[in-house]
Amino acid sequence: MMDVVAVDIGGTHARFAIAHVSADGAIELEDPETLHTADYASFQSAWQSFRNSKGGTLPPRISMAIAGPVGGEVIRFTNNPWIIRPSLMESKLDVEQWTIVNDFEAIGHAVARAPEDQFIHLTGPDEPLASDGTISILGPGTGLGVAHLWRSSAGDYRVTATEGGHIDFAPLDSIEDAILARLRKRHNRVSIERVVCGPAIIEIRATLAALEGRAVPEEDDVTLWTRAMADKDSLAAAALDRFCLSLGSVAGDITLAQGGFGGVVIAGGLGYRLRDHLPHSGFAERFRAKGRFANLMGEIPVKLIVHPQPGLFGAAAAFAKEHGVSQ
């Protein structure tokens, strides 16, 4: 058994947990602790706070999933002022081994190692993800994360994080034409991330309101998602349905581009919130609506990962992968 401090850092929160990694690669997380990044001047300060909560000592191993690029001598976070200097990890944190990965790369590692009961079926054949082949992964949140996982029946796997969220948005009907036209007023180029991410519900609802000639108040995306999920606002609920259609189209396009015929996984905090809605939405029809490839798309299992802490689990899995702990 090897213990690792798993860390998942975004713009608002930093989550910490002790991960127990068995010799066979099985991973068990202790209860996570969530800190607000705004409450700490640096990652080192947050690390010390977590260490104090654990009695003053931590395992000499850390694996970090970071929202943003992870290369270079200085790692800067996308939405908070912290920085990480990998060359100083040993002296600043008193650790002997470390792994640093992009947050969505960590999700890919979580998909590779999570047990089957951590996935729910969305569409396609109700069977496990392929043990040999490519699996496409995408997750709507503040933006749209995209990765792919290749694994072999011999037990090996590789994860590649991508910038697939920045592919051009391709509307399929008149409503999506209108969404695109609205977004083009502010963006010369409209990527799929502008339509398939949490904040996009604002623009989707505004477009629907304009089509109906209705005036709507300005509201943030959190408020709109809450009302949409509660089905207490007809326009917000219609925007949610439209979001699911676009997510299905995008998932299908990503799958074709990556060759993710071994399965598709929807991840991310918003994906998790939609777990009860997606199976009954137009997601599946749009996923399959790829012309001559409709039959092929219908043969691909599409899952939603429901692990409560995929970032932390994936960070621990990335450490196990890099440092030679078998699955």
CA 323 to CA 2: how far, in whole Å? 11
Count Cα neighbours of 76 within 13 Å in the Cβ-side half-sphere: 3
Q: What is the DSSP letter of 31?
A: P
**Among 1, 87, 89, CA closest to 44:** 89
CA 302 to CA 183: how far, in whole Å? 29
What SS3 string covers 238-273? HHHHHHHHHHHHHHHHHHHHHCCCCCEEECCHHHHH
3-state helix, strand, coil in the chain (%, to 5): 40, 25, 35
Tell whether residue 25 is among the known ligand binding residues: no
Q: Which helix (H) or strand (E) holds 113?
A: helix 103-113
CA 240 to CA 225: how far, in whole Å? 8
CA 327 to CA 316: how far, in whole Å? 12
Tell whether residue 8 is among the known ligand binding residues: yes
Q: Which two tokens stand for residue 52?
A: 């104090």
Tell whether residue 10 is among the known ligand binding residues: yes
User: What is the signed CA dihedral for 36, 40, 42, 44, rounded to 10 degrees?
Assistant: -90
Instruction: Please list the residues that pair with 18 across neighbouring strands.
Output: 5
Tell whether residue 134 is among the known ligand binding residues: no
Whether residue 195 contacts residue 165, with contact meaning beta carbons closer than 8 Å, is answered with no
Residues flagged as binding site:
7-12
Residues flagged as binding site for ATP:
7-12
